[in-house]
């Protein structure tokens, strides 16, 4: 699969519009996205990483260099996208947490969990 096909396929799998992708990438209109997805325009090398981030994947996966199970990868990224929709700072944090080792992730959870419990008990968060 060509890069432009991977981008379109990934965007559609995430149920993301061209407008949403354009906004995430800082484009003012969808015309650039449409041209990239149709293969008319190439992606500038400097933008490949930004496209991957916006599509919750890696540049290697977009270029077809990784053989990650698509269903599993899509499911994991859909969860991230759903949880963090409209909350870009949360999406960044989720990506960072996802890159941690299990040991480090457990350490972070041990710090965050009591804080969340305090907010729940104070009525600031509903669970």
Where, residue-wise, is CATH 1.10.260.40 in the chain? 1-73
Confidence at residue 77, expressed as pLDDT on a 0 to 100 scale: 52
pTM of the model: 0.52
User: Cα(9)–Cα(3) distance, rounded to whole angstroms?
Assistant: 10
What CATH architecture is 1-73? Orthogonal Bundle (1.10)
**What is the reported pLDDT for 85?**
62
CB 80 within 8 A of CB 39: no
Q: What's the confidence (pLDDT) of residue 105?
A: 75
Of 81, 112, 107, 75, whose CA–CA distance to 94 is shortest? Answer: 81
> Residue 22's pLDDT band (boundaries 50, 70, 90)?
very high
- pLDDT score at 12: 93
């Amino acid at each position: 699969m060509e890069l432009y096909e991977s981008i379109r396929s990934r965007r559609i799998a995430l149920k993301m519009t061209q407008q949403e992708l354009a906004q995430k990438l800082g484009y003012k209109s969808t015309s650039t996205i449409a041209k990239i997805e149709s293969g008319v325009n190439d992606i500038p090398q400097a933008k490949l990483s930004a496209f991957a981030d916006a599509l919750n994947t890696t540049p290697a996966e977009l270029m077809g260099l990784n053989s990650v199970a698509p269903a599993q990868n899509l499911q994991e990224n859909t969860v991230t996208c759903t949880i963090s929709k409209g909350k870009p700072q949360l999406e960044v944090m989720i990506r960072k947490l996802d890159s941690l080792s299990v040991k480090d992730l457990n350490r972070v959870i041990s710090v965050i969990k009591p804080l969340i419990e305090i907010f729940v008990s104070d009525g600031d968060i509903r669970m």
